[in-house]
Amino acid sequence: MDILKRNLFFIICGLTATVGIALAAVGLKSMTGVQSRMVDAGRLLGQLDMAQRNPVNKRAIDDMEKRVETIKSNYQGVTNWAHNLNRRAPLIPDFFPDAPVDKKQEFTTAYVATVDGLLESLKSGTPPTPREIDDMRETIENEKPRQRDPFQAGKENAEEGEKGNRSGLITNEQARSHPAARASLVKAQRTRCYANLDSLDLIEEMYLGGIIEIKPGVFWDAQRKLWVQQDVIEALARVNKEAATKLEEAGHHPWVGVLPVKDVLSIRISNYVFGDSTGKTPARASDDGPAEPPARVNESFTACESNSLYDVLHFTVKLVVDPRQIPGILDAICKNRFYIPLRVDYVTQPPNLSMTGKIYGEDPAVRVVVDFEAYYLGDVYRRLMPKSILDEIAQERPEDEEKPED
């Protein structure tokens, strides 16, 4: 006990030193982990600092921002291009959607003038009328008052050169002395394409001047049908004009018999096409009369129908053409418009051996029917649609009241 008392101070000091050594060891051990984490944190901080000052990363971010801006700009550019390509001006400004009464006569007058202008742009003609044939008969009688009927002469003696032709084709001599044939040839030489009002899809009551009872929806139908026909006729006239220019440069006279588009038999436009539209059976080139558009989704390989973004309609064109020119004619109609050819059907146009009526020339010709699909952007055209049409297609007028530019 005395020994403990005498050495108590040293014992306490020893225990304190031992505990201190143990605590130091534990502390140093834990400090190693702390130090490691501090080193990792410092390294990360350095990397972040380098990233902020690294020009490569900043350049990549700037390039990505520029790319996003370029994509936005290109999208807007494509949208504007599509709108401008699809946009058409009404016959008179500020007429749609309400078709004000005080402007109905102005619209009707413009409609008649535009329809007449379509036929003029084709430099179109018709077969001779009975009156024109009678006039030609009088001319022939004055030239050769005692001449026998050339057809009878040909029958009596088929071996008399020009006066008889075993193929059945009328001869030049016969044509000169036959009133109907000669009148037909004279008119054909002055014509570049056969067409008349029956060739077009018209609102007859409007063309004939009846405007009082016509509702806004009828005016809209007249306008949308006119837009299609303007595109088609302009394309056909352009094809013929280009061919006529080449013929004239070569010293030849351009007339219906040597031009690509010889006859516009019919252009017909459907109503808007929906999935449940009943439509019609596709027309055949061999059928008589105008060719009506099918207006059925299942008749289109695109399977497109009117929806919230755009309206779809079909139109059908029936022509007599040079068969070698069909691809160029289709391209001309679809060029710069949202038109797609859906179906082409054609048959040989029989030769006109009598040379009376419509004369298509010496080269082979075909009667062709082509169905097209047309697209109209909703945010362009629904601003103009009368309410009755919007209700019919179950769509709303765009909220933006800005009207499309001409």
Q: pLDDT tens across 254-311, in order?
A: 999 999 999 999 999 999 999 998 888 999 999 999 999 999 998 899 999 999 999 9
Q: How many CB atoms are closer than 10 A to CB 80? A: 10
Which is more confidently placed, 42 or 395?
395
pLDDT at residue 80 in the model: 67
CA angle 323, 327, 331 (to 5 degrees): 140
pLDDT tens for residues 348-380?
999 998 889 999 999 999 999 999 999 999 999
Locus of tokens 């808007």? 272
DSSP percent split of the chain into helix, strand, coil, nearest 5: 55, 10, 35
With a cut of 60, say whether residue 6 has pLDDT above it.
Answer: no
Q: Read off the pLDDT band of 159 (50, 70, 90).
A: very low
C-alpha count within 13 angstroms, C-beta hemisphere, residue 139: 14
With a cut of 90, say whether residue 96 has pLDDT above it.
Answer: yes
As a whole number of angstroms, the distance between CA 226 and CA 218 comes to 12
Instruction: Write out the E strands in 58-195.
Output: 124-125, 193-194
As a whole number of angstroms, the distance between CA 209 and CA 204 comes to 8
Average pLDDT of span 48-60: 65
Q: Is the dihedral of CA 289, 226, 109, 124 positive or negative?
A: negative
Provide CB contacts within 8 A for 51, sequence distance 6+: 57
Cis peptide before 97 (omega within 30 of 0): yes
pLDDT at residue 210 in the model: 66
Average pLDDT of span 69-87: 68
Query: Could you give the residue ranges of the DSSP H alpha helices within 250-377?
Result: 326-334
CA-CA distances (angstroms) from residue 28 to 17, 19, 334? 16, 14, 85
Which is more confidently placed, 323 or 75?
323
Average pLDDT of span 177-195: 94
Q: Read off the pLDDT band of 327 (50, 70, 90).
A: very high
Does pTM surpass 0.95?
no
Average pLDDT of span 102-123: 95
Return mean pLDDT, the chain.
83
Sorted by where each begins, the domain ranges of the chain are: 2-83, 96-126+191-392
